[in-house]
A and B are shown apart, each in its own frame.
Chain A
Amino acid sequence: MAKTAVQPINESRPGKVVSVTLTTILLAALALLLWWMQSAISDVYILKITRLCAINITLALAMNLINGFTGIFSLGHAGFMAVGAYTTALLTIPAKSKEMMFMIAPLIKPLDTLTLPFPVALAAGGLLSALFAYLIGMPCLRLRGDYLAIATLGFSEIIRVLIMNAQRLTNGAMGLRSIPANATMAWTYGVALITIAFMALLTSSSYGRALKAIREDEIAAESMGVSLFSHKMMSFMISAFFAGVGGGLLAAYNGTIGQDMFRVSMTYNILMIVVMGGMGSISGSVISAFVVTIGQEWLRFLDGPLTIGSIHTDGVVGLRMVVFAALLLIIIVFFRNGLFGTNEATWSGLWRSIGRMSGHKKRGEAA
């Protein structure tokens, strides 16, 4: 093992320029594929799921930053998503629809006639969500491990309770309808791409290294001069920002939102993606967002009538989620590092595994 580690860089391995070129080509190909899908595929359902994949990438990366890279087990994701979703919805729904929707009590003053462009509303949702994170983080980030998990989960529930009770702001239990369908292919994938790029830059910067140091050993990080609280707060707020933006996209994607959407199970769904991809791996989260989103749709056949051999059942609603939860359990018990662990999928890594598969032994091993 040590022998391969000290070997000079293999000439056949792609360098940085090659990596960047390959990434650009991949992205261009992806953009072309999406563009082609939009014009060639008439099945609305497939297009919808494709967009959901991108939203889940944003949401998973947001959670991965705090849970995977910083090692703070926060379970408040659904709350931040709710803040983003409601903000985006309230800022984009046309005034007329708002007037019709708020039947019990009218919407409070400036919001009832205010409509903003979608990107502004998304950003507002993200910023408000980050502000909530600041307020929640003040007490919560002083806690450790499990306490923090419970406290953030609690605040996420409190946000839900507030939403349910703030009739004049959120329409209470009735939720919001007729949210303009702004979550197009371009917006969802655009935001996902920005999130990926931001996370990649952040985690490879000195801030990112400080976050990883906190994850590995808080006390050691602190004694090396990393300010624990401010770094945790930064990570928490950025995570909440992207969760809020993702929530806003989800609102535009769904068309309707209600406080019921943002229960703890929403956090668990995203957690599943993060765990499966590997906590602390950006590429892991991206790939796993596709796998889990598509997998969840594919598992829908379980809810319908089934025939296995001679056994026949007429549609068990919810079986899909049981299988899904069982999968999460199996993954965490048997493959707890997920797809990538804390590693990233890189071109050189791909190169090496292709080399391994095609039978070319590396020179170091042959010698």
Chain B
Amino acid sequence: MSAIFQHLANALSVGSLYALMAIGYTMVYGVLRLINFAHGEIFMMAMYVVFFGLATFMMPWYISFIVAILITALLGVTAERLAYRPLRDAPRISILISAIAVSYFLQNLATVLFGGRPLTFPQVPLFTSMMNLGGVHISRLLILTPVIAAVLLVGLQYLLKRTKTGMAMRAVARDYDAARLMGIDLNRTIAMTFFIGSALAGVGAIMWGMKYPQIIPTVGAMPGIKCFIAAVLGGIGNVAGAVVGGLVLGMTEILIVAAVPALAGYRDAFAFVLLIIVLLVKPTGLLGEKTTEKV
């Protein structure tokens, strides 16, 4: 009984981590129709910033977290400014390659700056100590991660639905040219999208680091691809869909391995199998809207 509860809590926390990162993908895809391949590397950078903040500069954890989230967000905005904005009117494939180049650049930069040796993400007792929940000992993180994710999601929904910036983002996502004609400042709105998406990736990275404490320059690559898949599963461009997709993916991965431990070596492959199945059955994703191709 307690094992099942453990697995469920674990699945929920992994799922909410995926959801946090998938939102970044889905928001960027919504406004630019771009898979931001560099999202995983932005996630990776956040982990390094927290590491150096805590281990080298001895900052208190909350300051280190805030610094990391801010730096991550600015990194996302910078990538957009330097690598994506000049290509906004170019063929889609160019901007996709540009995103790949940014990801490759950040990975190599991290190798040079921080070395290829794995570092260990520092533990923050407030989050990582064990707690007793109705006779079951589990890490606080398993409970805190979904809660933090849920709070951020409510905040994001408020921002998207109630604020001017959020409405501008939704307008740009709905119709890029019409939004421009209505006087929406595209550059500012897109930069804001990258800021929020990257900040959420930063939060996700911190939680991820406390759960899986190994930091290497390629640590963001796999979560990056998986979270894009999560965004596609739920219906790309749809924030609620990203959350659903993230949770579904997290649950599938953890629960399959829990049920059939022999498959643990293939864990990273589940996401792709799930992606193919969903795309073949419902190409727009679970919550996606139907689009028709105009000739």
Contacts and interface: CB of A to CB of B under 8 A. Distances in A.
Interface stretch (A111-119, A182-190, A326-334): A326-334
Contacts of A334: 86
Specify the main secondary structure of chain A where it touches its partner: helix
A261 to B, nearest CB: 14
Interface residues of A, number: 45
Interface stretch (B90-98, B175-183, B187-195, B245-253): B90-98
Interface in B5-53: 29, 33-35
A149 B229 CA distance: 11
A216 to B, nearest CB: 11
Nearest to A279: B93
Interface stretch (B123-131, B133-141, B198-206, B267-275): B267-275
Interface stretch (B62-70, B101-109, B159-167): B101-109
A316 B112 contact: yes
Interface string B217-232: 0100110010011001
B280 A149 contact: no
A146 B33 CA distance: 9
A84 to B, nearest CB: 21
B109 A150 contact: no
B275 A333 contact: no
B98 A154 contact: no
A333 B94 CA distance: 8
Given A139-B280, A328-B104, A332-B94, A321 B272 contact: no
Nearest to A268: B104
Contact of B272 (A154, A220, A275): A154
B111 A318 contact: yes
B228 A318 contact: no
A326 B229 contact: no
Specify the main secondary structure of chain B where it touches its partner: helix
Interface string B43-86: 00000000000000000000000000000000000000011001
B226 to A, nearest CB: 9
A250 interface: no
Given A73-B93, A319-B112, A328-B104, A333 B272 contact: no
A161 B101 contact: no
B22 to A, nearest CB: 13
Interface string A252-269: 000000000001110010
B225 A157 contact: yes
B272 A157 contact: yes
A324 interface: yes
B87 interface: yes
Given A150-B232, A161-B265, A332-B87, 16 more contacts: A139-B276, A139-B280, A142-B279, A143-B283, A161-B266, A164-B265, A268-B104, A275-B97, A322-B108, A322-B109, A322-B112, A325-B104, A329-B102, A333-B82, A333-B86, A334-B86
Nearest 6 interchain pairs by C-beta: A154-B272, A325-B105, A321-B108, A329-B101, A318-B111, A328-B101
18 contacts: A73-B93, A73-B96, A147-B232, A147-B279, A150-B228, A150-B275, A154-B229, A157-B222, A157-B269, A157-B272, A158-B272, A263-B218, A318-B108, A322-B112, A325-B104, A329-B101, A332-B98, A333-B83
